[in-house]
Chains A and B, each alone.
Chain A
Amino acid sequence: MKVTAQPSADTLTLLLDGELDASSAIVLDTELAKPDILNYRKVLVDCAKLSYISSAGLGVFISHLQRFQDANVKLVFFNMQEKVFNVFEILGLDALMTIVPSAAEAEAA
């Protein structure tokens, strides 16, 4: 699992590469827990190369969800593989989080 952060003016794009399981969830959690992440208007998560997400991986996003909402930072997922989307959907997260098909839509969101 590799997490690459690409900051721009008011947007932070996180590229996830690999499987997000209990061990790699820590890496992502460190990234999302940084205080200055709340200075951005939007945090875009590029899931093109995310091949698997475990409940521990979902737990990381869930645990930061409220914090992002409170700080008015928009969390947008895009380029999600069907298999991964399925996991979000089953848990009901698709109704709670913004998941869009492409980068362009993510920019617009």
Chain B
Amino acid sequence: MPLTALSWLLLLLSALSHSGAGSWLGVWPQWATQLAQGAFVLGVFLLYRYHRSPLQGQAFVRLLKQLLLGPGLLALVCIGLHLFERLLEPDAGAGKASILFTSVYTVNLALFVIFLARTNYAWRALVLFRSTPRLQREWTIFEVLLGATLLFRLVGVNPPNYLTYPLMAGLGLFGVYLSGHQKWVAYLSQREKWRAVAFQAGLLFSLLVFVQYFRVTQVDPQLIAPQPQYAFLLLTAFFSAFYALMGLLVTFFNMPIADVIEQRRNEILRLQRLTQIIQRGQTTTEVYRILLESAVQTAQADAAWLDLDPVHAGIDAADATQYYNFTQAQADAMRPRLQGHELPEGEHITNDLHTRAGFEGPAQLYRSLLQLPLRGLHFNYGMLYLLKTEPHTFDREDLSILQTFTSQAVLSIENLELVRTSLANQRTQEELKIASQVQDSLIPKNLPTDNWFDISSHSLAAKEVGGDFYDFLHLQGRRLAVIIGDVSGKGVTAAFHMAQMKGIFHSLMQENPLAKNERDKFPVPSKFMAQANTALTHCLEKSSFITSSLYIIDYEQGGFVFARAGHCHTLYYHALREEVFYFESQGLGLGIIRNESYEKHIKNQFYDYSPGDVMVIYTDGIVEARGGDGTEEYGEDRLKLRLEESYFQEAEEIKNFILDDLNSFTHGHPIHDDQTLLVIKFKSAQPLPLA
């Protein structure tokens, strides 16, 4: 900055020395003036080059305004100075310029240079707006070449004309090429465009003023000072003017298509708004309202209404129709006429309702109709109707943009629906978890322990809750009741019946105070089954049944009695005979016959056990577990073999041995039924005598 000011001062002095007015300065050499001039121009341009970019964001109009009100006004100052000088010295002698004239000339030259520099770098900001790296390189080359022309005069080289002109013309063409980059015009709104045109015209005018001034003074006989840096100033002036002219023309001719561009921009904005509604989790009613609003604005419809299907659209019947500038009565009158002409595709434009069949009779106020269904994945949510008073006013473009709107709206609705469903699902999952916990508490955690037997158990539900159950109950007189059961079906229904069966077990296994002898205090297994069957008659649905086995082990006598109500056969290892077998006994499942005759179908079986005997009790989820190719079942034979191999182990080890084999058999297949496995091993230790 100080260097630039200094160089201008030198320029002034040298000019004065030449003009003769400043004879006290002596006559400075020609090169000094040239150098001062060159340094000043370079300084000003460099100053603006590294100045903050005049373009702030996308405030193009502000940039043009500042350009006009800043350097543009300099032109006025220039004229003012010129007139002022002419007024003071109207008849200065030829060949001898006054101090004032020279000073004014030098000041004006400086103003012009500043004006050009400002303009140039403002244009740079516009040319490089959203530019590619390639364009940025091209601009740098342009600047360097322009800078090089400064040197022409400076080093006193005066190339011959045949070299200068093509070079100048080449640089000029380069400027023309760069002037083609007017991307910024597209970002102006209609009003801004008019202002931009005005400002650019103003700029061109100020440029013209400057050029005119220099053309006049150039031939002025008073001017003795050396000619300014023509090549450089000419080129920059040309570029500034050409870019402004191009910008003006581009802006001007952009005017007619501006509203189309603006409309497209608005469409995008509306689409964005629709999309944002999903994220904000608005209500469905709001989505439909915004759809109608956006559709009306985009298609510039005079009236519209939206018919929604209350079943699918997820809104109240009261909100099922939304109107815009239309009444219910009008819609009611229109609907029956339309219904007779439903088109297979759904969306349709009627160019002139007056010519459409079904619309004869009293003339319609509206003549153009656009109808568009809100298509969902599985069904239509409703139908959108847009109306205009003029015929032939909707086109395929309108239809396609509106289709984007409706599909976006449907997407929003379906998303909202998904959120709702997933919330409901989450609740159900939570409740199932609770049900699972409740059921888990129904299964005995503390197995009965004593020194005459050893029990191990396993249970696994195919779903969160299952229909398998087992339980134990110590009865008076050194007896233990063991029950196992399986409710037909799976899941929640089965779980309910399982809980019921547990309740029945505990209530029927109560001591009967009226019993005449010890043995009758508790029902024998067959009696229990018959009573349970009666109890279940009214609480089990027709196609459900329960299989169960009840064992009452009397460890004082070393024997047990059991009844099998359609449940899996009991697997048994007989230690004395060293033999594994299934108990073959008859017995009908519970809930199959729901009358007194059930008792005929259930039998008790008595058995004496000896130490070392093993009893394996299970549900069909074990023997019917699928493995192999998916159709093969685990089976009773395989279970029997496993017991033959493991009977000598402890109950826990026998259970694990069987489960390991089962798991390797079913590996890779989902379990499709609840699994329960109980292993009871009788031991030789005698029970403690009763206290």
| Interface of A toward B, CB cutoff 8 Å | 22, 29, 51-52, 55-56, 58-60, 62-63, 65-66, 83, 90-93, 95-96
Contact = CB atoms under 8 A, between A and B. Distances in A.
Interface of B: 486, 488-489, 542-545, 547, 565-569, 586-589, 591-594, 601, 620, 631, 633
Given A56-B543, A59-B544, A92 B488 contact: no
Contacts of A58: 488, 545
Given A91-B566, A92-B587, A62 B601 contact: no
Contacts of B586: 92, 95
Contacts of A22: 489
- Max chain A CB contacts within 10 Å: which of B569, B589, B593? B589
A29 B594 CA distance: 20
A63 B542 contact: yes
Contacts of A29: 543
A30 to B, nearest CB: 13
A16 B489 CA distance: 21
A29 B543 CA distance: 10
A93 B601 CA distance: 10
B568 A62 contact: no
Nearest to A52: B631
B489 A95 contact: no
B631 A56 contact: no
A51 B630 CA distance: 13
Nearest to A55: B488
Contacts of B592: 62, 65, 91-93, 96
Contact of A91 (B542, B544, B547): B547
Contact of B631 (A51, A63, A90, A92): A51
Contacts of A60: 543
B588 A56 contact: no
Contacts of B488: 55-56, 58-59
Contact of B589 (A63, A66, A83, A92): A92
B543 A62 contact: yes
A51 B632 CA distance: 11
Q: Max chain A CB contacts within 10 Å: which of B547, B587, B592, B601?
A: B592
Contact of A90 (B489, B544, B566): B566
A76 to B, nearest CB: 18
B576 to A, nearest CB: 28
A95 B567 CA distance: 15
Contacts of B591: 62
22 contacts: A51-B631, A55-B489, A55-B545, A56-B488, A56-B543, A58-B488, A59-B543, A59-B544, A62-B542, A63-B542, A66-B594, A90-B547, A90-B566, A90-B569, A90-B620, A92-B566, A92-B586, A92-B588, A93-B588, A95-B586, A95-B588, A96-B601
Contacts of A92: 565-566, 586-589, 592, 601
A95 B631 CA distance: 28
Given A51-B631, A90-B568, A95 B601 contact: yes
Contacts of B594: 66
Contacts of A56: 488-489, 543
Given A52-B631, A56-B543, A90-B569, 16 more contacts: A22-B489, A55-B545, A58-B545, A59-B488, A59-B489, A59-B543, A62-B545, A62-B592, A66-B594, A83-B633, A90-B568, A91-B547, A91-B592, A92-B565, A92-B586, A92-B587
A20 to B, nearest CB: 13
B432 to A, nearest CB: 19
Contacts of A59: 488-489, 543-545
7 closest Cβ contacts across the A-B interface?
A92-B588, A59-B543, A55-B488, A63-B543, A91-B566, A63-B542, A91-B589
